[in-house]
Amino acid sequence: MKTVALGMSGGVDSSVAAILLKQQGYRVIGLFMKNWQDDKSNCSAKEDYLDVVKVCQLLNIPYYSINFVEEYKKLVFEKCLTEFKKGFTPNPDILCNKEIKFKLFLNKALQLNANFLATGHYCQNEVINNKNHLKKGNDITKDQSYFLYTLKSSILEKILFPIGHLTKKEVREIAKKNNLINANKKDSTGICFIGKRNFKDFLKDFIPFEKGEIRTIDNKIIGSHDGLSFYTIGQRKGLKIGGEGDAWFVVDKDVKNNILYVSQGKESIELFSNKLIANDLTFVNENINLTFPYKCLAKVRYRQTDQKCQIDKIENGNIYVSFETEQRAVTLGQSIVFYKDTICLGGAIITKVIK
């Protein structure tokens, strides 16, 4: 009997994954991962762990809690702070999957003599031509492949995604049939280390902020900002700019001169672009063969519908991408993730937007 170490969050997805793995004949070990410790954040780690315990006791599987608080702080949180200080908007979930879940957590699972690590992600692991590929989950509204693009084929050989073929509705139905206490538990949202606090209030504890000017594109001063790190491209709320006409939106940041640029209207031309440059490029299949221009699909944010694009070239570690239609609010520090049909090819970190 093969053993699977299952990352359990206390939510319904990983709990149903445990049920399915047991039904498939695996010996299952439940692993709860603690990544953050902060009394201010209202992080639900304690309550979530209690839910893990209840589910594991119901299903009669062993469970352990693993503490990665220090590792998370160094490998995820501090890296995110560095990006915020540069005026970028990083994605902690992608970084956590890369550095913690599918590296340190996977190693811990293997140390427990597990044959595989499983998670409750809505995505699939498909073998094509003897290579493991990352595939979208069947429930497109819940697909999480965007957050997992840094995984390599060699890592996927050790990974299982038990619920990737199911819809969220089907997952909850299985949970109810098996009397799971978290069958109706709400999905977790937001970033654990921020919790229920205001994002700006949280960052102020870690990043020295400097007030600066808010200007229109034609350099008219119309307000002041609290620090560029607290704003993201496309943001409307919190600008405190009155006046007549359409709402104001953040369209650019001048980090060197500490200026926040805004424009009126949700469809302002300043919010749109059709080219970008990204780095820190990674492909799931490292032997991928690209002929330029390489046509594919891409997302520049989670939940965005796939956009037609082409990879123009890869040069000096940078990837140059052109879109068929203009994209709204492309944000530095976020990831662009590439697809061929339902297969996730990989992705990169956006470093420049070309308007």
Any idea which residues carry the catalytic annotation? Answer: 96, 192
Closest CA to 235 of 218, 219, 247: 247
According to DSSP, the residues that pair with 283 across neighbouring strands are 346
At residue 33's C-alpha, the angle toward residues 29 and 39, to 5°, is: 145
In this structure, the strands spanning 116-118 and 3-7 are: parallel
Q: Compute φ and ψ for 331, nearest 5 degrees.
A: -120, 130
**Rounded-to-integer distance, Cα 347 and Cα 198, Å:** 30
Strand order in the sheet with 3-7: 63-67, 27-34, 3-7, 116-118, 159-160
According to DSSP, the residues that pair with 335 across neighbouring strands are 349
**Rounded-to-integer distance, Cα 249 and Cα 268, Å:** 8
Which residue reads 């809690």 in tokens?
65
